[in-house]
């Protein structure tokens, strides 16, 4: 792997499979009385969150602590950032504290790349979501969940539905799942597909009903009203119309093959992009996605900071020795 994880495009197929295989070993810790490995003892991981988050921040914190790293949680609210401190000054402060890895979420697309290439810090940088750009660890945990249930990602047909325009999850999944051999189809209103989507390694459609019967996985995206409001709104006539055309309700759910999985990166707008009874059905793996996120982020931190050439075997040996 490279020194940083900024985009799904940074990952080769071999890199992605190494992370997924390592995460498989890490997940075995979840069933143990003591859920910790000493591999990152003495290392410091900083969660640098300029945007509100619950799942991602807690997931990275749990991952780092299970690897015995020291964790510093930084929130823009209540910090010097609210007084006008720049990203550079914040980064220099972290460098002075001896951070080994910085997990950053930022409202500005490209902020993690700026941090990684600026020379302000010597630590590894992990992108935990930047603007409407990317969220690579979410794509990795989604791929891990698909592989766990369906045996492989290669050859699977994945339909991603909803607000693709504002979704960093959609971008990261389109890149990573295609790298792993999946056939990805984006389904959305024309106004919620980004300019240049024709150049993405995916197919796209405006007809959800036609896509569902051919899907092994359907991934529903949250309608990001807060970003739409900043853009002036007007992306679809009404919430009811959107739900009627692009929401996954019980009737549409019946169009899916019997083995198909229902996914959502969260948080969900129940009743809009997904019905409550579908979100809670036995083929929904939404809660598992959250649980798998810890194992995947453990694997990412381990591979970035562990410094072992045979990282996968090292993780396996440590889990086995701790048994």
Instruction: Tell me whether residue 179 is one of the annotated catalytic residues.
Output: no
Cα distance between residue 84 and residue 222, in whole Å = 31
Cα distance between residue 152 and residue 17, in whole Å = 11
Of 81, 122, 123, nearest in space to 102 by CA: 123
Cα distance between residue 274 and residue 260, in whole Å = 15
Which one of 43, 114, 133, 135 is the catalytic residue? 135
Instruction: Tell me whether residue 35 is one of the annotated catalytic residues.
Output: no
- Residues pairing with 313 in the sheet: none
Instruction: Tell me whether residue 105 is one of the annotated catalytic residues.
Output: yes
The structure tokens 């990203």 sit at 87
- Residues pairing with 47 in the sheet: 73, 103
Q: Quote the tokens at residue 285.
A: 């793996």
288 burial level (CB within 10 Å; 0-12, 13-18, 19+)? middle
Q: Quote the tokens at residue 121.
A: 């810090």
Helix axes 136-150, 13-27, angle to 10 degrees: 70
Q: Quote the tokens at residue 238.
A: 């009404």
Instruction: Tell me whether residue 83 is one of the annotated catalytic residues.
Output: yes
Q: Are 145 and 263 in contact (CB under 8 A)?
A: yes
Instruction: Tell me whether residue 56 is one of the annotated catalytic residues.
Output: yes
- Listed in sequence order, the residues at least 6 apart from 283 whose beta carbon sits closer than 8 Å to its beta carbon are 256, 260, 261, 262
Which one of 4, 27, 66, 105 is the catalytic residue? 105
Which one of 22, 44, 56, 132 is the catalytic residue? 56
Cα distance between residue 200 and residue 289, in whole Å = 25
- Listed in sequence order, the residues at least 6 apart from 198 whose beta carbon sits closer than 8 Å to its beta carbon are none
- Listed in sequence order, the residues at least 6 apart from 101 whose beta carbon sits closer than 8 Å to its beta carbon are 43, 44, 45, 46, 64, 69, 123, 124, 125, 126, 301, 304, 305
Q: Are 144 and 23 in contact (CB under 8 A)?
A: yes
Catalytic center residues:
55-56, 83, 105, 135
């Amino acid at each position: 792997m490279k020194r940083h994880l900024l985009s799904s495009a940074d990952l080769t197929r071999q890199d992605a499979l190494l992370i997924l295989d390592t995460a498989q070993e890490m997940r075995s810790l979840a069933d143990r009385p003591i859920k910790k490995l000493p591999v990152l003892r003495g290392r410091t991981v900083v969660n640098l969150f300029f945007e509100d988050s619950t799942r991602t921040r807690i997931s990275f914190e749990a991952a780092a602590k299970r690897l015995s790293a020291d964790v510093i949680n930084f929130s823009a609210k209540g910090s010097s950032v609210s007084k006008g401190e720049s990203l550079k000054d914040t980064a220099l402060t972290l460098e002075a504290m001896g951070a080994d890895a910085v997990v950053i979420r930022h409202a500005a697309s490209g902020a993690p790349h700026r941090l990684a290439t600026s020379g302000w810090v010597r630590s590894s940088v992990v992108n935990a979501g930047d603007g409407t750009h990317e969220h690579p660890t979410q794509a990795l945990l989604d791929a891990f969940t698909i592989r766990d249930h369906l045996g492989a990602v290669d050859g699977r047909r994945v339909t991603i539905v909803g607000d693709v325009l504002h979704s960093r999850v959609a971008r990261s999944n389109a890149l990573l799942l295609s790298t792993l051999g999946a056939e990805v189809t984006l389904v959305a209103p024309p106004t919620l597909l980004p300019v240049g989507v024709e150049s993405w390694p995916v197919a796209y459609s405006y007809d959800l009903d036609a896509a569902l019967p051919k899907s092994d996985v359907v991934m529903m995206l949250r309608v990001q009203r807060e970003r739409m409001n900043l853009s002036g709104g007007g992306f679809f006539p009404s919430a009811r119309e959107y739900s009627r055309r692009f929401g996954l309700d019980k009737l549409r759910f019946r169009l899916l093959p019997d083995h198909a999985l229902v996914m959502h990166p969260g948080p969900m707008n129940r009743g809009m992009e997904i019905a409550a009874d579908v979100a809670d059905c036995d083929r929904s793996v939404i809660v598992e996605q959250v649980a798998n996120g810890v194992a995947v982020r453990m694997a990412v931190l381990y591979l970035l900071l562990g410094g072992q050439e045979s990282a996968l075997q090292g993780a396996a040996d440590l889990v086995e020795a701790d048994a």
